[in-house]
Amino acid sequence: MISKKLQLKRKAEVSTSVVQVKKRFRIVTDDALNVCMCGITANVDQHMLLLLQRKTRLVTVVTLFSFSHFRPPHGQGKLFVSRRSLLDELFEVNHIRTIYHMFIALLILFIFSTLVVDFIDEGRLVLDFDLLVYAFGQFPLVVCTWICMFLSVLVVPYTLFHLWSHTQSGSFAHPNLYSVLFGSVFLLYQALGLGFLPTYVVVTNSLPPASCSVVIMEQVRLMMKAHSFVRENVPRFLAWSKDKTSPGPVVPQVSHYLYFLFAPTLIYRDKYPRNPVIRWGYVATKFLQVLGCLFYAYYVFVRLCIPQFRSVSLQLFDLKAMVLCVFNSILPGVLVLFLGFFAFLHCWHNAFAEMLRFADRMFYKDWWNSTSFANYYRTWNVVVHDWLYYYVYRDFLWMSQKRFRPAAMLFVFTVSAVVHEYILAICFGFFYPVLFCLFMCFGMMFNFILHDQRKGPIWNIIMWTSLFLGQGVIICLYSHEWYAQRYCPLKEPSFLELLKPRSWSCQRGLVVESDNL
């Protein structure tokens, strides 16, 4: 029912937009004809009026055709329209902007409290950022790795698709065999070129968490982009090869593909709605806000996380210590959640969208008003949700002929949980599937219990309470395991010992001094 509602909504939006364009041009055409009729005498040549009518109709057709560039191919898929981000609209209201000012005031207090504590303990003002320097260590290697990944994604998928399109044009025998061959090469590139090699560079060079997250998250993003490019263009080319309604094969230009690799979306289109100008002041403001969120997160960890987990990790992690740790971690967990959302989904995406004049800024919806986890999953990160919905959920239903909708939803949750846990495992350097269990157990359970039929303020309170508690669990368990890995290293660990969390057995008598944070 949700899928049908979404399809009907998209069809209504498309039809409404087309009707509005038709009405607008019909008014312009009638006005132009009326002016001409009033200004021309009875002896006017009727052939001139016929040419004027044909010209105005041609303008209408051309305009409607240009509008169809933003429509989904074959009437399906995501519809891109020009719209602003929700927070940009809300911050124009003074009452909402006051909340933004409150967070800035809290950052100022964090800075002053850190300076005061350092002055009392050290007798001087300490303004070093050792945690940031450590977290973003070996950054030149990160830049080189990203350049190699980007160039490979720019060249390999486009070249493979271009070569494959020539084998399907009719001049080659056995086109299905070529499809299997090029498809296998593409999957091999996704697995080895984008999957294995960046991970190997990260692991062998022991990149710190922040530098590692840049490489791994870009790895996942580029893999999703390459899949979208192939997934959107292959069906379109096959449709052309059967009907051949257009004069030439439907092969996208390199400039379109290059724009897509930088655009803040994971759904490929040849063209997107574009803004007329670039507001460079807006771009600078968003990047400064990202930098501010980075320092904000630094002070959250320095003031609220590191002092707590350094002392807790020296003790045996029993049930009592775990409960206290979880509740003490809720505040930093919530702050990190808000900072990650604001810095990445709002500021970072809007900055690149503004530089590219990308007009569709709906990177998220009003997830804070959700009364169900089902709605929260759809509105928290619209960019990733669109990719999962169109290329995982709908393709699963297409392959199963729409027979196993619960299985399709379970498959989406599994893919999302595995990717999130993969990112954390590689970035932290240990396997501790806390996020995977939260996704597959509590996430699935809340998705069916707190569904879309739950309305009212009480359900929004329940959603926020569960979200806060989950953030406390994530910050507590991963931080405790991070310090346990450094305080209680294993000299010759076996495979089973690597899978077992070190925090379950690390205690004061086994502590080994470590200089790492």
Q: Which residues are catalytic?
A: 420
Structure tokens at 31: 């006005």
Q: Would you put residue 351 in left (φ > 0), alpha (ψ -120 to 50) or beta?
A: alpha
Integer Cα distance of 76 and 84 in angstroms: 23
**Coil/strand/helix, residue 360:** strand
* Adjacent-strand bridge partners of 42: none
Integer Cα distance of 187 and 8 in angstroms: 34
Q: Are 104 and 338 in contact (CB under 8 A)?
A: no
Q: What is the DSSP letter of 71?
A: S
For 131, phi then psi, to 5°, come to -65, -45
Residue 171 CB-density burial (10 A; 0-12 exposed, 13-18 middle, 19+ buried): exposed
Rounded (10°) CA dihedral 461, 462, 466, 467:
-40
Integer Cα distance of 17 and 364 in angstroms: 22
Residue 399 CB-density burial (10 A; 0-12 exposed, 13-18 middle, 19+ buried): exposed
Integer Cα distance of 289 and 130 in angstroms: 21
Tell me how far CA of residue 234 lies from CA of 12, 168, 229, in angstroms: 27, 11, 8
Instruction: Indicate the length of the chain as a whole number.
Output: 517
Residue 1 CB-density burial (10 A; 0-12 exposed, 13-18 middle, 19+ buried): exposed
